[in-house]
Amino acid sequence: MVTNNSLAQAIASEFSQLPQVIAVALAGSQATEVSDEFSDFDFYVYIQQEIPIDIRSEISHKFANRSEINNQFWEPGDEWIETNSGKGIDIMYRSPQWIEAQLDSVLVKHQASVGYSTCFWWNVLHSTCFYDRNDWFKQLQHKANQPYPEPLRRAIIAKNYPILRNNISSYLHQIEVAINRNDFVSVNHRIAALIASYFDIIFAINYLPSPGEKRLIQFAKQLCQKLPVNMEQNINSLICCLAYPFSDQGILCKANNLINRLEELLRAENLIGNFN
């Protein structure tokens, strides 16, 4: 029986033989031991030159009867369905210069984003490397394995906190306008954005990089020592309001409650005095 680890090694071995490849790393759920039956294999193939499409297709055919080569929807990559296990295999191609720039933006320049500010930092830290020419990826992980910069922590909060509801164009204002228009799609979209910024702040409060989009409640409960009161309950309560037909006042009330509890934590940590 082929195990997840042996499958990962076999796939990495195919790419390691190509001269364009600098490193092959496995990230996502399979690398963080929180995988389940729905978890894909997320491979990051770091390349110094493009790998020809026909070679990528040839590799996929060794493992999968069904594959999509050269998807360009997010990061450049290929997707397969592994024949024996039915597991999804996601191959993403990155240049070393690109990922180094992503780390520099947060660890050196302390630049925040609107949601998911530190997800690439998390990605590097929690990758398992299967091939590493000249120890480049080892050095990258060594750089990533550093204390959380205080300027970055404050930059993330400064970027994401005001747009929750303080600014004229805040998420809460946009949600209220969408409700008045009976625009359910916009309400859903803005709540998702609010939650992304909400978790960006929570992980920053705890000096932790953000894991990205998936299992955020699970990771926050597992890793963060400081959380807003009733975090999981308040998030679930807000999301449940999206069931059609939704309660207009219920959404606004529960969004405000979610932000109130976050503000209590921010004030306790002396992190929002400059915003009010």
The tens digit of pLDDT for each residue in 70-123 reads: 988 888 999 999 998 888 999 999 999 999 999 999 999 999 999 999 999 999
Where helices occur in 62-170 by DSSP H, the ranges are: 96-107, 119-125, 136-144, 150-160, 162-165
Res 241: pLDDT? 84
Res 1: pLDDT? 36
For tokens 């394995």, the residue is 145
Angle in degrees, CA 211, 216, 217, rounded to 5: 145
**pLDDT tens by residue, 122-148:** 999 999 999 999 999 999 999 999 999
For residue 153, how many other CB atoms are within 10 A of its CB?
Answer: 23
Instruction: Look up the pTM and report it.
Output: 0.89
The segments of the chain whose pLDDT lies below 50 read 1-2, 30-32, 34-36, 38, 274-276
Q: Is the dihedral of CA 262, 263, 269, 274 positive or negative?
A: positive
Distance of CA 191 to the CA centre of its chain: 17
119 in helix, strand or coil? helix
Distance of CA 162 to the CA centre of its chain: 22
- How far is it, in rounded angstroms, from Cα 52 to Cα 29? 28
Residue 39 phi/psi, 5-degree rounding, is -75, 130
Length of the chain counted residue by residue: 276
- What is the β-pairing status of strands 41-47 and 88-94? parallel
- How far is it, in rounded angstroms, from Cα 96 to Cα 44? 11
| C-alpha count within 13 angstroms, C-beta hemisphere, residue 114 | 9
Strand pairing partners for 27? Answer: 42
Domains of the chain (ranges, CATH numbers)? 4-144 (3.30.460.10), 150-275 (1.20.120)
| 21 contacts 15 by C-beta, under 8 angstroms | yes
- How far is it, in rounded angstroms, from Cα 44 to Cα 275? 39
Contacts 24+ apart (CB under 8 A), 225-232: 226/265, 226/269, 227/202, 227/265, 228/202, 228/258, 228/261, 228/262, 228/264, 228/265, 229/261, 229/264, 229/265, 230/261, 231/202, 231/261
Res 38: pLDDT? 47
Residues 6+ apart with CB under 8 A from 147: 207
